Chain A
Amino acid sequence: AQSVTQLGSHVSVSEGALVLLRCNYSSSVPPYLFWYVQYPNQGLQLLLKYTSAATLVKGINGFEAEFKKSETSFHLTKPSAHMSDAAEYFCAVNSLTGGGNKLTFGTGTQLKVEL
């Protein structure tokens, strides 16, 4: 079964500092990987996706992620954190079963941005 693991349930950075949120995947087939962000009392917003076209994926709000097969990782980064980035971030893999959609999520990382 495909799965993702997010290391660090809470990450704290200073405004302007690098953001690095970690995600490792387990998959026997080429995975389709996603990062979502969730603000309080809201649904999930797609940040970016990896679908094998390019290993470095750029998303919205200045985020990007690099797919590294050798490390089975898909870490999310942003060069300079902003207060508005404070939210919960989820890594997910699309577990294709019978040709459909089924996202398996990591446990999430709460990002705190401090002045």
Chain B
Amino acid sequence: KAGVTQTPRYLIKTRGQQVTLSCSPISGHRSVSWYQQTPGQGLQFLFEYFSETQRNKGNFPGRFSGRQFSNSRSEMNVSTLELGDSALYLCASSPGTGRPYEQYFGPGTRLTVT
């Protein structure tokens, strides 16, 4: 099976702009989670989508939003970008039902805000 794919891999944006990141999970996986990784805060959970519904949410401002499509692909949007949003954004997929399965991560999207 193909792994988790994320596009784009690298992105440079200016403060105040918005950005959309995309994630395609492993075939058959229905849960997609997003994480932010920064040197200062480490790995932090943003949100999880399952069957097109947000199932869990982390402690991030409303500028961070996401959605999931019927084919389980997910997008994450960040509006009004701030310098502090510069980070590696990781997407992870799992089957999503039953006991907590392991999550499989994509290579990430490196976002730089200038």
A binds B: yes
A-to-B contact residues, CB < 8 Å: 32, 34, 36, 42-46, 49, 51, 90, 92, 94, 96-105, 107-108
CA of A99 to CA of B94, assembled, Å: 13
User: How many cross-chain pairs have Cβ atoms below 8 Å apart between A and B?
Assistant: 64
B residues in contact with A94, CB < 8 Å: 100
CA of A108 to CA of B44, assembled, Å: 12
Q: Which of these, A32, A43, A104, contacts B106 with CB under 8 Å?
A: A43
CA of A94 to CA of B94, assembled, Å: 12
Known: A43-B90, A107-B42, A108-B42. A102 touches B56 (CB 8 A): yes
**How many Å from the CB of A25 to the closest CB on chain B?**
14
Mask, B42-72, CB within 8 Å of A = 1, is: 1101001010000110100000000000000
CA of A43 to CA of B48, assembled, Å: 17
A102 touches B99 (CB 8 A): no
A99 touches B99 (CB 8 A): no
